Amino acid sequence: MTVPDVQDTRRRPSRPVLLLVAAVAAALAVVAGPALWGGLTDHRDSRHFDRRADAPTSGDLAFVLPDVVPQDARDITVRAGTEDPDAKMYDWTSTSGVLDGGACDERETSAVTAPFDGSQWPEQVAEGQGLACGSVFVREVSGRFYAWIV
């Protein structure tokens, strides 16, 4: 018994359609790729708050600000580890420059390690004196405060 020849009658996408799909996929990879890759390699999530009052005080506890961030803090960025919930970095501006949260002791910045690569911060953050305020280390550079959990 022989099987009769049956011709495939399904329509296949034309070459221009395939090229358009490939171009759109390439454009998405260029635009979204760095953000996706950064999330995979840095294992962190970040949020920005215009003022301290905009930050959560309950709910998503990864972005609750520590007491050391002053009430007049503005332009606040919080970076929280997605794999290590205690790995957090903060930066903000403050007109008063007064840190809340109790007693702080001066300490050499080089003696304290940040939980993430701090390449997005000025190099001066890793140099000189800073303040150890409980479990938070704070360093001011050019009017901006940088802090991380130690």
pLDDT (tens digit, 9 = 90+) per residue, 57-108? 987 788 899 989 999 999 999 988 878 767 889 999 999 888 876 688 888 8
Cα 24 to Cα 14, 27, 31, 32, distances in angstroms: 16, 5, 11, 12
What does residue 74 show for φ and ψ, rounded to 5 degrees?
Answer: -135, 165
Q: How confident is the model at residue 38 (pLDDT cuts 50, 70, 90)?
A: very low
pLDDT (tens digit, 9 = 90+) per residue, 129-138? 899 988 889 9
Show the 3-state SS of 116-149. CCCCCCCHHHHCCEEEEECCEEEEEECCEEEEEE
Taking a C-beta distance cutoff of 8 angstroms, is the pair 146, 128 a contact?
A: no
Q: Where are the domains of the chain?
A: 13-42, 44-149
Please tell me the pTM assigned to this model. 0.67
Q: How confident is the model at residue 40 (pLDDT cuts 50, 70, 90)?
A: very low
Residue 7 is encoded by which pair of tokens? 């011709």
Residue 135 is encoded by which pair of tokens? 């479990």
The pLDDT score that the predictor gives to residue 35 is 47
Could you tell me if residue 51 is left (phi over 0), alpha (psi between -120 and 50 degrees) or otherwise beta?
beta
Show the 3-state SS of 52-75. HHHCCCCCCHHHCCCCCCCCCCEE
- pLDDT exceeds cutoff 60 at 33: no
Q: In this structure, which amino acid lies at residue 139? A: R
- pLDDT exceeds cutoff 70 at 7: no
